[in-house]
Amino acid sequence: MSIPTPHNNANTKDIAKTVLMPGDPLRAKFIADNYLEDLVCFNQVRNMFGYTGTYKGKRVSVMGSGMGMPSIGIYSYELYNFYDVDNIIRIGSAGGIADDIKLRDIVIGMGASTNSNFAHQYKLPGTFAPIADFGLLRKAVESAEKLGLKTVVGNILSSDTFYDDNPEANSLWKKMNVLCVEMEAAALYMNAARAGKNALCILTISDHVFTGEALSAEDRQNTFRDMMEIALDIA
């Protein structure tokens, strides 16, 4: 496919080699406005804002992914395959599943289990395990330690359903020591694997599936800054 694409009106050199990708395009704008210098907006198609600037002298881009695997599947595929992006770091919110996962915890997805059929397209003779790039994962853990932030590394769930008809679904994932649930990482990890590129998912726990606890909008904004700064540090 030629560029610009139907979903991204950027040109070839408008996007940096590393892209931070929150789900919410307004969170992408928040990061751009508060952290990046020499800012240029490269995409406004469907209001899925994308920006490129510099952070501490490094060129970095940030772009929304939208909600769910089909949406991040489109944007990340195009970034990897049409715009020559090497690294995508998803930064998002998640619902806690494990008992020892608390509000405000920063979770790094070493692997992304999923109930999605996204991998079917590859016609593999078995079950593919979507995993993060170890180099990015190691840098993220080291960055968090340097910033004095605790992280929990492990298996997360990328779900195709926000409202699941099976009331026992989360309990079944919990017994397999899945830490939390979100909706995008598995597709990102699979697109990265297929393209020979790198991906990482860093999450902040905004609510807990079993306790019913949840952060306020103000708490989310303040807490999410920690996750953003880890991602920017390793970009």
The model's confidence at residue 202, banded by pLDDT at 50, 70 and 90, is: very high
Evaluated on CA atoms 180, 135, 30, 219, the torsion sign reads positive
**Is residue 50 helix, strand or coil?**
strand
For 120, phi and psi rounded to 5 degrees? -60, -30
CA distances from 142 to 13, 46, 57, 211 (A): 30, 36, 20, 30
The predicted structure's pLDDT at residue 59: 98
For 48, phi and psi rounded to 5 degrees? -90, 80
The predicted structure's pLDDT at residue 50: 98
Average pLDDT rounded to a whole number, residues 63-67: 98
Average pLDDT rounded to a whole number, residues 4-18: 96
Smallest CA-to-CA distance from 181 within 173, 172, 193 is with: 173
**Domain 12-234 indexed as CATH 3.40.50.300:** no
Q: Which residues are catalytic?
A: 207
The predicted structure's pLDDT at residue 223: 78
Domain range annotation of the chain: 12-234
pTM of the model: 0.97
pLDDT above 90: residue 93:
yes
Residue partners of 190: CB distance under 8 A and separation at least 6: 118, 119, 122, 128, 130
